[in-house]
């Protein structure tokens, strides 16, 4: 039940930073090219060499093409010799050829690191083992890595040659944060999605929850929510909800994405005199607003039907009760509007393979190694066969202890278990995404953040409150229910 959540990495885990790992990897994988050959005398352009280091000389062969994707996988390599470094310079170093005869200018040279010894903590040993294939504890290797309080030193044949500092930077990746999931309310029925916004137009945030057949608007009070009004949806399957100021009025609109039959048939709603009224019906898109600070600019629709799930994406404009297309949105490959949102200049979404993707412009800067298994929001598309399409909950940009971060729900279904043909998840967690520096993204699972079954939505108010809506499914519909939590954070 999400009682205590631990975010980020604790201070003793600084040695596991990606930057430190990459620095050590780059040192032990130094390489360059043969630039001149005079008999046994060989000149190489590799920087930071040391006298006595050995280099393996490799020659590139034919390009390897993947038989299915037709993409290049690199080139074949042939080992053609070995060089021992004898004289180190700033721009090039001189070595002696000790193996091989047919060395040519343009051949590739790589530092030959047969084994590395390590002296230090178990954390450092695992760090180094994740970088190099052969790491031994103790001494006796040409290369020895020693752990110190401030970082890692490297020796070659007893001489100090490099030092890599453990860096403490001002991001929550390196700070110990505790968060508590405070239970607020049990919800009647399974929540599909949720969001917050000023739907009344009085300057206050309201919690809007989407259920399979209705939308409910709640007033947010100090430690509870109070039902304000509800609206019965037209025929179809409700799959996601967004609340944003996309229209001409000084209030947020309620955008409900729905599937009817084999295609999208969504609706846009607004509050009028204390009740919810439809503005536009039968919209042929799954819709979303990627950035609430610029809602009209990031109001998108994505085509959805039985032939093309999550197809072309267009920009949308709501003028009164008329919804218009404003041109194409150049979405990255695999884009899905149901889970998409902006975190600063970064576009985040979970693609249909379940990978969390982060793009800056048209360049991918991050892709998760583990998969996300969707949510209880799904639709059955029946043509010649029946297909279940699962939708992903959208993340949110939040402020945690003066850090601006993105939180993305991640649910786990195991083998997508079915009990009496009911989709069943085993747990829900939160993934924290942040920027270490420009173009360099980190993500950490929120440790200890397991909710029972699935997170259906996460929503943040203007005053900084962060709500999590969880869902649970039983073997019969009457057992389905939801739970509302508020997250609280503090430094340890």
pLDDT at 395 over 80: yes
Dihedral-angle region of residue 98 (phi above 0 means left; psi in -120 to 50 means alpha; beta otherwise): alpha
Quick one: which of 234, 238, 175, 235 has its CA closest to 209? 238
Query: CA 291, CA 481: separation in Å to the nearest integer?
Result: 30
Q: What is the CA radius of gyration of the chain?
A: 28
Contacts of 212 (CB under 8 A, 6+ apart): 189, 190, 192, 237, 238
* Structure tokens that stand for 352 in this block: 């249909």
Report the Cα 359 to chain-centroid distance in Å.
10
**Per-residue pLDDT tens for 312-370?**
999 999 999 999 999 999 999 999 999 999 999 999 999 999 999 999 988 999 999 88
Is residue 392 a contact partner of residue 338, using CB atoms and an 8 Å limit?
A: yes
pLDDT the model gives residue 269? 97
Mean pLDDT to the nearest integer, 107-111: 93
Q: Which helix (H) or strand (E) holds 423?
A: strand 422-424
**Which carries the bigger pLDDT value, residue 452 or residue 143?**
143
Is residue 114 a contact partner of residue 136, using CB atoms and an 8 Å limit?
A: no
Contacts of 478 (CB under 8 A, 6+ apart): none
**CA distances (Å), origin 246, targets 187, 202, 307, 319, 320:** 28, 17, 29, 9, 10
In the chain, ranges of CATH 2.120.10.30 domains: 175-491
Residue 143's DSSP bridge partners are 116, 156
Q: Which helix (H) or strand (E) holds 470?
A: strand 466-472
175-491, superfamily in CATH? TolB, C-terminal domain (2.120.10.30)
pLDDT at 66 over 80: yes
**CA distances (Å), origin 97, targets 36, 125, 154, 474:** 12, 34, 26, 72
pLDDT the model gives residue 9? 35
pLDDT at 406 over 80: yes
Query: CA 253, CA 489: separation in Å to the nearest integer?
Result: 30
* Structure tokens that stand for 427 in this block: 């747990």
> Residue 299: phi, psi to the nearest 5?
-85, 115
> Residue 33: phi, psi to the nearest 5?
-135, 155
Say what the pTM is: 0.66
Query: CA 422, CA 471: separation in Å to the nearest integer?
Result: 13
* Structure tokens that stand for 153 in this block: 């030193």
Mean pLDDT to the nearest integer, 22-44: 92
Q: Is 414 exposed, middle or buried (0-12, 13-18, 19+ CB in 10 A)?
A: exposed
């Amino acid at each position: 039940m999400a009682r205590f959540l631990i975010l980020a990495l604790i201070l003793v885990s600084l040695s596991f930073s990606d930057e430190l790992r990459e620095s050590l990897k780059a040192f032990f994988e130094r390489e360059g090219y043969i630039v001149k050959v005079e008999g046994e005398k060989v000149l190489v352009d590799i920087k930071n060499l040391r006298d006595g280091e050995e280099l393996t000389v490799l020659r590139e062969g034919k390009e390897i093409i993947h038989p299915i994707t037709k993409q290049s996988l690199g080139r074949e390599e042939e080992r053609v010799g070995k060089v021992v470094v004898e004289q180190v310079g700033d721009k090039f170093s001189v070595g002696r050829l000790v193996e091989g005869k047919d060395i040519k200018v343009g051949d590739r040279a790589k530092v030959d690191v047969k084994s590395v010894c390590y002296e230090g903590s178990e954390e450092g040993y695992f760090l180094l083992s994740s970088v190099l294939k052969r790491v031994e504890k103790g001494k006796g290797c040409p290369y020895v890595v020693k752990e110190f309080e401030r970082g890692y030193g490297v020796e070659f044949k007893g001489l100090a040659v490099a030092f890599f500092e453990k860096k403490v930077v001002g991001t929550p990746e390196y700070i110990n944060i505790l968060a508590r999931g405070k239970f607020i309310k049990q919800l009647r029925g399974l929540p599909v999605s949720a969001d917050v916004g000023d739907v009344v137009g009085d300057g206050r945030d309201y919690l809007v929850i989407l259920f399979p057949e209705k939308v409910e608007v709640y007033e947010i009070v100090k430690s509870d929510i109070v039902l304000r009004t509800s609206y019965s949806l037209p025929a179809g399957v409700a799959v996601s909800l967004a609340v944003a100021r996309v229209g001409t009025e000084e209030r947020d609109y309620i955008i409900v994405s729905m599937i009817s039959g084999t295609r999208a048939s969504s609706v846009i709603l607004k509050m009028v005199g204390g009740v919810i009224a439809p503005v536009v019906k039968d919209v042929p898109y799954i819709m979303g607003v990627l950035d609430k600070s610029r809602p009209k600019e990031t109001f998108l629709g994505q085509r959805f039907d039985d032939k093309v799930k999550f197809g072309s994406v267009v920009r949308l404009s709501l003028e009164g009760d008329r919804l218009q297309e404003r041109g194409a949105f150049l979405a990255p490959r695999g884009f899905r509007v149901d889970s998409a949102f902006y975190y600063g200049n970064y576009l985040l979404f979970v693609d249909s393979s379940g990978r969390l993707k982060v793009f800056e412009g048209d360049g991918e800067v991050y892709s998760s190694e583990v998969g996300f298994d969707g949510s209880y929001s799904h639709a059955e598309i029946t043509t010649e066969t029946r297909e279940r399409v699962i939708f992903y909950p959208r993340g949110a940009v939040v402020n945690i202890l003066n850090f601006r971060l993105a939180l993305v729900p991640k649910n786990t279904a195991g083998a997508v278990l079915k009990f009496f043909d009911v989709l069943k998840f085993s747990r829900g967690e939160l993934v924290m995404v942040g920027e270490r520096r420009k173009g360099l993204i980190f993500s950490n699972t929120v440790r200890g953040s397991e909710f029972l079954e699935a997170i259906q939505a996460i929503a943040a108010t203007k005053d900084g409150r962060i709500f999590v809506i969880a869902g649970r499914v039983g073997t019969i519909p009457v057992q389905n229910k939801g739970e509302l939590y508020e997250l609280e954070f503090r430094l340890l």
